[in-house]
Amino acid sequence: MPTVMITGCSTGFGLETARLFLRKGWQVVATMRTPDASMLPVSDRLSLLRLDVTDPASIAQAVNAAGPVDVLVNNAGLGAASPIELTAPETVQTLFQTNTVGTLAMIQAVVPQMRQRRAGVIINVTSTVTLKTMPIVGVYRASKAAVNAMTESLAVEIAPFGMRAHIVLPGRSPETNFSANARSHLHGTDNPDYEPLFQQFIASVQDESGPVTHAVDVAEAVWRAATDPSAPLRIPAGADAEQWMAEAGR
């Protein structure tokens, strides 16, 4: 029975991905900062572990408790909305520490065991905002774009060991806590020069007329990456994500 380890399972994409893999009969190691067993179905194939991807000791403890991992899904992440000029240094640090360095730390913690077995899949969940120029989320985009670049190189490095790496790129999803998380790091709304950009950004986020990404879309994209050896390096998740990727020519 294969084992998948998923970070950021408390809500949204990670939670739905854990549910899907459980339904498919996998052993699931679901991780979150504050484990809550009520969020997932009772199963003897489920292990719920505390994990903070910004804490090396927490990573080491969780990976050791997880045991052999066949698929690692790096889904834990943080959003922020602020013009680049006005983004607080602590927000920049938090974004990169969580989205970029945290993902790298998980990869470095799990890849050695996969390389030893000559098998394994690394799946990094980023965002289609990395494919399209957008204001207000520039630092967030940069933290996720760095993961894209890292994954591209990783895929080449681990291929000789019988391993794969993939990028799952969701679009805008009303089912996640991205907006709530982003608001806590919001800066510049009272700046008259940036107010028009903010208004455009808020309107685009709140617009429900166009296609969006649902959590199940991301879960299914992750499943494809985990189980289909012919899956592409980049996999869009959601109708809007597919549209953006097509427009970007990727």
Catalytically annotated residues: 140
Among 32, 22, 31, 30, CA closest to 2: 22
Query: Which amino acid is residue 59, in one-letter code?
Result: I
Closest CA to 197 of 244, 137, 239: 137
Element at 236 (helix H, strand E): strand 234-237
Q: Which among 152, 153, 189, 190 has a CA at the least distance from the CA of 169?
A: 152
Q: Which residue has the tokens 């240094």?
A: 89
- Which one, of 178, 220, 228, lies nearest residue 242 by Cα? 220
Maximum Cα–Cα distance across the chain: 57
Are 244 and 171 contacting, i.e. CB atoms less than 8 angstroms apart?
Answer: yes
| CA 218 to each of CA 36, 75, 194: distance values in angstroms, whole numbers, following the listed order | 21, 10, 32
Residue type, 72: L
Distances (CA, A) of 67 to 11, 116, 129, 227: 24, 14, 34, 20
Residue 188 main-chain phi, psi, to 5 deg: 100, 5
Residue type at position 51: L
